[in-house]
Amino acid sequence: MVRILVLHGPNLNLLGTRERAIYGTLSMDSIDSALTKQAEELGVAIDIRQSNNEGELVTWIQEAGSGFDGVIINPAAYTHTSIAIRDAIAAVGLPTIEVHLSNIHQREPFRHHSYVSGVALGQISGLGPIGYSLALRGLHEHLVATRRRKKTLSVSRRQKSKTK
């Protein structure tokens, strides 16, 4: 079974309560429920966590190296500041999709740069909560395809070594 860690960064626990014009009306819990349902349908094991603490996010990313196959992260404001989160993603080497509810490229200039995107498999920005759902679908497909490729490769290697 594919295992995916979903991380929400700082202040995303406030979703649905304030700044609705930018981030929408859905709460983090309702986004998480929809993701959990989608994961069940796909047959994916997901673990969803939120933290306001950069170090905690870094530790979770490091630990994901054993126990998870991929990561979906909305690093929130740490997107634009955290070399530590970028380094953790690069170090752990798990395929990671960066999600933003708002389109960070259309907002204030300080939000245009992401430290995470350079080490991410992809970035989804500006589609609201659907972005998480697309990330789950995309990461699942990527991981299944990677597994299939590895399996085919090891079968063909075994066959080659038999014929030697």
* Closer residue to ligand CA2, CB minimum distance, 14 or 130: 14
**What's the min distance (Å) between Cβ of 86 and ligand CA2?**
15
Binding residues (CB under 6 A) for ligand CA2: these are 11-12, 14-15, 18-19, 23, 74, 76-77, 79, 100-102, 104, 111
Please provide the size of the chain in residues: 164
Catalytic one of 8, 100, 132, 140: 100
3-state secondary structure the chain: CCEEEEEECCCHHHCCCCCHHHHCCCCHHHHHHHHHHHHHHHCCEEEEEECCCHHHHHHHHHHHCCCCCEEEEECHHHHHCCHHHHHHHHHHCCCEEEEECCCHHHCCHHHCCCCCHHHCCEEEECCCCHHHHHHHHHHHHHHHHHHHHHHHHHHHHHHHHHHC
* Closer residue to ligand CA2, CB minimum distance, 61 or 101: 101
* Closer residue to ligand CA2, CB minimum distance, 16 or 47: 16
100 is catalytic: yes
Phi and psi torsions of 45, nearest 5°: -90, 125
115 is catalytic: no
* Closer residue to ligand CA2, CB minimum distance, 4 or 79: 79
**What's the min distance (Å) between Cβ of 80 and ligand CA2?**
6
**What's the min distance (Å) between Cβ of 114 and ligand CA2?**
9
Catalytic one of 23, 78, 115, 132: 23
Which residues are annotated as catalytic?
23, 100
